[in-house]
A = this chain, B = another copy of it.
Amino acid sequence: MKTRDRILQTSLQLFNQSGERAISTNHIAAELAISPGNLYYHFRNKADIVYELFLAYQQQVDYYLAAPGSQPLVLADLAWYLEAVFDGLWQYRFFHRDLESLLDADPRLRAGYGDFTGRCLSAINGIFNQLASGGIITPRSEPLRSAMALNVWLVITNWMAYLKTAHATEEPAVLSLAELKQGIYQVLTLELPHVTPEYREPVLALRETYRPGTFCQAAHQSK
């Protein structure tokens, strides 16, 4: 593996573990057993590493959240979307911790992240739309759908911080992918009132899969 890629990989791992704030370029170099000079040969500065990680994050989420087109969605699709988003969130989980400082340090990142959020929101909106076509949720007016999509986004992106700050007993807080995915329970709680009567039972059953305390993560695959 090329040094440049190893730097990205190790940075991501250390950032996820301890937060970007706590990890210096010297830490990264030390972990890789390379010299700081070597690291700075491959990256102009720390912000460039973060930015490149953002691009990878963005690419992954964009790919999985690709517009569902115009075909109606079935329930398994909903589960699949949720799993995919939480997977992405998990892999780049350092990112949503003090995002504000990251954006303050890099205007490219600020602009890129603004666009990224916009695409995510309209993707969620589109998914709502196609879930309505599939008869799973009742159709809503556009402004309401947008506000709902934003709420979903707010719950998704804040769920991890909640777990690591309000719930954690350990010091520092550690987290597993399974715990993170309990956030899906919260998202489905959010959508529940909008589910059509005939789909209420199946959605409740799906939701139950992610109930906090339940540590069986069934594989929800489709598509």
Contacts and interface: CB of A to CB of B under 8 A. Distances in A.
Contacts of A172: 100, 103-104
A60 interface: no
Given A144-B189, A166-B114, A171-B110, A100 B19 contact: yes
A114 B21 contact: no
- Interface size bracket, A side: 35 or more
A221 interface: no
A101 interface: yes
How many copies of this protein are present in the complex? 2
B147 A189 contact: yes
Interface string A178-212: 00000001100110111000000000000000000
A75 to B, nearest CB: 19
A223 interface: no
Interface stretch (A35-43, A61-69, A148-156): A148-156
B118 A166 contact: yes
21 contacts: A19-B100, A103-B165, A103-B168, A103-B172, A110-B165, A110-B168, A114-B165, A114-B166, A114-B168, A117-B162, A117-B166, A144-B192, A148-B189, A150-B162, A151-B190, A153-B162, A154-B154, A154-B158, A155-B155, A155-B158, A193-B193
